[in-house]
Amino acid sequence: MPQPRQLPPLEEVLASAHVVSIPLRVRFRGVTHREAVIFTAPAESAEFSPFLEYGDAEAAAWLACALEVGWEGYPTPVRESVPVNATVPAVAPEQVEAVLGRYDAAHTVKIKVAEAGQTLHDDVARVEQVRRLLPDAHLRIDANGGWDHEQALAGLEALAGYGLQYAEQPVAGVEPLAALRDEVRRRELPVLIAADEAVRKETDPLAVARLGAADLLVIKAQPLGGVRRALGIVAEAGLPAVVSSALDTSIGTRAGAALAAALPELDYACGLGTVSLFDGDVTPASFTARNGALQLRRVSADPDLMRRFAAPEPRQRWWLARLRRCYERLVN
């Protein structure tokens, strides 16, 4: 289990914890509010926000990241600016323009596909609308493992004509991803395959590289147990990397930017623009892109905003109990 080199005492961690619930502008991953624990820690403000359905074993890695950021800080950056993509959730085509309007200079757009209850027709219509609005932008799709092998091939064939930069996690699992990539190459479809869940949700995040299952990795600081551990995984994998967020507040997004800023090579825009999907934040100056890029700066949680967006008392108890359980997993 990844963990900071020295864990701060649990009492200190709990004393610095604030549970917040921030509304979203559009439904994302089936939720309209994003819950998170924000730490006012000694080194940096930090975030612990594993999705609600994740078990403690998986969520503990997210806590390891928060403790690393909050009590150790960030590694030394090699760049001060990180290019980012806009993100279009699985909305109807007529909503796409409003979503894109929340981003500044969207030169790269990630479009969600394979949403439960929707069809390939819905996906094509959404991608087509983005391409119509932004004819020169780089487009990438993210299925979150929602397709099976045949659905993925049908989807990639239908969408390849829109000039996709890559398809992120079109199918679930490492071996199915490898099989799909082989077939994509055999059919000479002009789409790269990116691995996300097959890296961050597997016990062996390097299996993707060993099996040749992807052309590039999508990495997130929280699920991989911290910025430094994620940097090590990229170095060992030897594949290009795209840094993404997990629908984080500005605090969590700053950790993602620290990861992107410390990578030796950064060939792709990063998925660190989801703060624009929030209708509120825990810092007065949200960490959002300007001219299509994030400029590194200190991002600190504001006490008044944390009080304003404080989660209801039952949710606070739920999150603090989860925090304690995850901390025990890091200790043991």
Distance CA 9, CA 123 (A): 47
**Strand positions, DSSP E, 137-289:** 138-142, 164-168, 192-195, 216-219, 241-243
Distance CA 241, CA 263 (A): 8
Strand-strand pairing, 108-112 and 138-142: parallel
In the annotation, is 220 catalytic?
Answer: yes
Strand-strand pairing, 17-28 and 31-40: antiparallel
- Helices 250-262, 56-72: inter-axial angle, 10-degree rounding: 80
Residue numbers belonging to the annotated binding site: 142, 168, 196
Pick the catalytic residue from 18, 220, 229, 322: 220
Q: How far is CA 63 from the centre of its chain?
A: 15
**Residue listed under structure tokens 């991002």:** 299
Residue numbers belonging to the annotated binding site for Mg(2+): 142, 168, 196
Distance CA 278, CA 286 (A): 10
Query: Would you list the DSSP string of 274-287?
Result: GGGGBS--SSSS--
What is the DSSP secondary structure assignment for residue 142, as one 8-state letter?
Answer: E
Query: Would you list the DSSP string of 74-94?
Result: PPPPS-SEEEB-EEE-S--HH
Q: Is 307 helix (H, G, I), strand (E, B) or coil?
A: helix
Contact 229, 2 (CB under 8 A): yes
Q: Which residues are catalytic?
A: 112, 220
